[in-house]
Amino acid sequence: MSQNNLSDFSMFELFRQEAENQTAILTQGLLALENNPTAAAQLEALMRAAHSLKGAARIVGLDAAVRLAHAMEDCFVAAQKKKVVLGSNATDLLLHGVDLLATIAHTPEHGLAVWNNEKAGHVDDMVTVLRTIIEEELAESSKPAPPATAAEAKPEPDARLATHDRVLRVTAENLNRLLGLAGESLVESRWLNPYADALLRLKRQQWRLSKSLEELRETLTARHVDERTHARLNEAQQQAAACMQALADRHTEMQLFVRRSAHLSHRLYREALASRMRPFADGVQGFQRLVRDLARSLGKEVKLEILGDTTPVDRDVLEKLEAPLTHLLRNAVDHGIEKPDARQAVGKPRAGLVRLEARHSAGLLVILVQDDGRGIEIEAVRQAIVDRKLTTAEVAARMGEEELLAFLFLPGFSMRDNVTEVSGRGVGLDVVQNMVKTLRGHVRLSSEPGRSTRFQLQLPLTLSVLRALLAEVAGEPYAFPLGRIHGARSVSRSEIEMLEGREHILHEGQRIGLVAANQILGGSAAAAGDELAVLVIGGHGKRFGVVVDKFLGERELVVQPLDSRLGKVKDISAAALMPDGAPVLIVDVEDMTRSIELLVSGGRLGKVQKTEAGGAARRRKRVLVIDDSLTVRELERKLLDTRGYEVEVAVDGMDGWNAVRTQPYDLIVSDVDMPRMDGIELVTLIKKDPRLKSLPVMIVSYKDREEDRQRGLDAGADYYLTKGSFHDETLLAAVAELIGEAEEKPAEG
């Protein structure tokens, strides 16, 4: 920290920062010392950390922290002098001492006096316990400590103290604004390209003008014009040449400026982005302690290996990773790693290994959590799914490993029959999945029974930059995050199949339903063609093909959050600027998937627009069938669909009312007796609405009394048909009488 900034903080704030650094050194050093209790370099670093903390506490008058740090320092000095060997029990006590020091340091300044008064006894008890470490270890040590090697005897410089970088306090909001401005600068720099291109076009026009003047001079020379005309023509040629040279010079200067501006903007953006990055190690400092303490409480021996600790990670991503990684590490120790005797019985080392790794791969941050434990028994998962009545035994028997493992991410799902302090409540993996989704990433689980379990988290390098596929919908560009789509492909209309009244295609051996993007995002449908551009979205088993107008290519976008006053915008997560400065909305794919599921469940999913062979579109008339009986609803739907009408269904009056207000229809066919809203009330609402009152409504009911019929007609129904008497042709004839044949030919001329 620069000297000029020290005046901004109180002495206690400085002590708190010092305590955070030194307690981190103490924790890491004690965990490392447990593997090599006589390492001179570690003991030296621990002694210095305790000594520095003692001095800092004395400055702010925290006598309790002074006494505790001094007792810890004595332990490390005794170990340095080979008087004691700090074993696991001693390490436990010293780690508790570190926790107590951290607690004291994080006490609000106005409450610090409690540690010198009411809570002084807690500190004195810990000091007494630490003093006994030396005595007990001296009594139990019967062998002299081995001599230190030359490498051990040479103290290693503390990396935290060796750094010469100046550190300044900058808020996350400042960094976000800086990155946003850098992104805007990057976009603005591209605005110069059109001007450079315009100069180039003007230069070419000037060159053509010079050629024309040259041809004119040759023509006039052949016709023996007077000298005055020749002089003026020569003057015009000279001016044109000078103008062309000036344009060439300005174009060269403009190109140079464009390149320099773009290069500078890229550098500014990369530096701003780098300022948000922190090494992976900053976010995993407490995991060694977590794994050690949990393993000891469970009677296990576990070693945590952290790889890629210098991998740069966006600070926002790193902060959000703590909770999911904590869950995964706890699961690895509790569920994965076996007891030492059990491991030894199957030929494994007594100590289990949990590996946590971070690396960059293909523009993504990849984090692996893997253990060498018992793995996951697939058949046990299959049986647990059936026992919890999540599916039938027949369906479970046909499920593959990937489908079965996906159940482990469901809320409340656990393979443990009994609840312990560590696990068994079914809370954990669902938290991991939800957190990863908020980071626009995804998690994969794989296992080798008896050997290992492996979680792979794929996350964006930064939340401020998004790699997306741009697609046009209703004439507007939309950005679909690459990490949230499963594929993008061109589909021939001949590949579309009808299944239960819905359009499907075959994708990677799985049938997925099609939905027009404009039905979700709004706008008119694009002109239909022989090929459809389809984006595949959704989770496993619930995938959909979203039909867009066309693909616009991949882009790296600087994410700009929407104004908080807008609240949550349906199906949209954020916005960005295109290279030409035009705005583009970023699609919330998870939200879009939910919107599609609601349309499907409500029977309101429209069909992808089709065309006639000649290319002119024929509009199919749309009918909404509303009935709470699945049998009647499907019967009417199939009859009308067979005759060529475009049919949608609703399960009751309320569902139908919501549908008719948001989608255009040519006819409503409704039952009378339905939950939430009956048919008579629905007809009344439709006929009172100025926009809908001209919409024809047919009532189809089991009630065949004259008073029932009159009640429906009085409400405004255009036709009343009883279910007990109508035949297929009766219904179809009534529909044709009200709205005509199914297809409406396009207007000519």
Read off the CATH number of the domain in which 389 is found: 3.30.565.10
- CB of 599 within 8 A of CB of 586? no
Asked if residue 651 and residue 726 are part of one domain, the reply reads: yes
Q: How many CB atoms lie within 10 A of CB 715?
A: 19
Asked if residue 416 and residue 308 are part of one domain, the reply reads: yes
Tell me how far the alpha carbon of residue 77 is from its chain's centroid: 49
Say if 611 falls within a structural domain: no
Q: What is the CATH number of the domain that holds 583?
A: 2.40.50.180
pLDDT for 456:
92
Asked if residue 183 and residue 89 are part of one domain, the reply reads: no
Q: Which long-range contacts (CB under 8 A, 24 or more apart) does 137-145 make?
A: 137/78, 137/83, 137/84, 137/85, 137/86, 137/87, 137/90, 138/83, 138/84, 141/84, 141/85, 144/82, 145/38, 145/82, 145/85
The domain of 716 spans: 619-744
Tell me how far the alpha carbon of residue 660 is from its chain's centroid: 35
Asked if residue 240 and residue 100 are part of one domain, the reply reads: no
pLDDT for 318:
87
- CB of 277 within 8 A of CB of 175? no
pLDDT for 611:
43
Say if 614 falls within a structural domain: no
Instruction: Report how far apart, in Å, the C-alpha atoms of 108 and of each of 212, 503, 587, 650 are.
Output: 84, 63, 43, 59
Phi and psi angles of residue 383, each rounded to the nearest 5 degrees, phi first: -70, -40
What residues have CB less than 8 Å from 660, skipping those under 6 apart?
624, 668, 686, 692, 695
Asked if residue 284 and residue 419 are part of one domain, the reply reads: yes
Structural domain count of the chain: 5
Asked if residue 285 and residue 245 are part of one domain, the reply reads: no
Q: How confident is the model at residue 106 (pLDDT cuts 50, 70, 90)?
A: confident
Q: Which residue has the tokens 């004119």?
A: 216
Higher-confidence residue: 716 or 262?
716
Phi and psi angles of residue 602, each rounded to the nearest 5 degrees, phi first: -90, 0
Residue type, 94: L
Asked if residue 739 and residue 706 are part of one domain, the reply reads: yes
- CB of 593 within 8 A of CB of 538? yes
Q: Does 692 have pLDDT greater than 50?
A: yes
Higher-confidence residue: 1 or 253?
253
- CB of 642 within 8 A of CB of 623? no
Q: Does 140 have pLDDT greater than 60?
A: no
Tell which of 276, 300, 333 closes a domain. 276
Identify which of 52, 50, 39, 41 has the alpha carbon closest to the alpha carbon of residue 100. Answer: 50
Q: What is the CATH number of the domain that holds 100?
A: 1.20.120.160
Taking the C-alpha atoms of residue 51 and residue 619, their distance in angstroms, rounded to an integer, is 84
Q: Does 310 have pLDDT greater than 80?
A: yes
Q: How confident is the model at residue 145 (pLDDT cuts 50, 70, 90)?
A: very low
Say if 65 falls within a structural domain: yes
Asked if residue 424 and residue 286 are part of one domain, the reply reads: yes
Polymer length in residues for the chain:
749
Q: Positive or negative CA dihedral for 271, 276, 277, 282? A: positive
Q: Which residue has the tokens 């007609």?
A: 713
Asked if residue 105 and residue 55 are part of one domain, the reply reads: yes
Asked if residue 372 and residue 257 are part of one domain, the reply reads: no
pLDDT for 355:
94
Say if 749 falls within a structural domain: no
Tell which of 410, 428, 460 closes a domain. 460
Q: Does 614 have pLDDT greater than 60?
A: no
Residue type, 345: A
pLDDT for 34:
77
Say if 234 falls within a structural domain: yes
Structure tokens at 402: 């990937």
Asked if residue 390 and residue 375 are part of one domain, the reply reads: yes
* Crossing angle for the helix pair 630-642 and 728-739, to the nearest 10 degrees: 60
Q: How confident is the model at residue 156 (pLDDT cuts 50, 70, 90)?
A: very low
pLDDT for 745:
54
pTM above 0.75, yes or no: no
Q: What is the mean pLDDT of the segment spanning 645-659?
A: 85
- CB of 637 within 8 A of CB of 625? yes
Say if 397 falls within a structural domain: yes
Min mean pLDDT across 29-38, 184-193, 308-317 is at 184-193
pLDDT for 264:
79
With 0-12 / 13-18 / 19 or more C-beta atoms within 10 angstroms meaning exposed / middle / buried, residue 29 is: buried
Q: How confident is the model at residue 77 (pLDDT cuts 50, 70, 90)?
A: confident
Say if 703 falls within a structural domain: yes
Q: Does 307 have pLDDT greater than 90?
A: yes
* Crossing angle for the helix pair 63-80 and 40-59, to the nearest 10 degrees: 160
Q: What is the mean pLDDT of the segment spanning 490-497?
A: 85
pLDDT for 500:
64
What digits encode the pLDDT tens for the residues 347-356? 999 999 999 9
3-state class of 71 per DSSP?
helix
Structure tokens at 326: 């904590």
pLDDT for 8:
53
What digits encode the pLDDT tens for the residues 702-742? 777 777 788 888 888 888 887 665 567 788 888 888 888 88
Taking the C-alpha atoms of residue 37 and residue 84, their distance in angstroms, rounded to an integer, is 10
Tell which of 543, 568, 601 closes a domain. 601
Say if 612 falls within a structural domain: no
Q: What is the CATH number of the domain that holds 735?
A: 3.40.50.2300
Asked if residue 59 and residue 205 are part of one domain, the reply reads: no
Residue type, 386: V
What number of CA atoms fall less than 13 Å from residue 721's CA on the CB side? Answer: 23
Min mean pLDDT across 121-125, 427-431, 556-560 is at 427-431
Instruction: Report how far apart, in Å, the C-alpha atoms of 552 and of each of 396, 472, 488, 548 are.
Output: 41, 7, 12, 10
pLDDT for 152:
38
Taking the C-alpha atoms of residue 604 and residue 378, their distance in angstroms, rounded to an integer, is 38
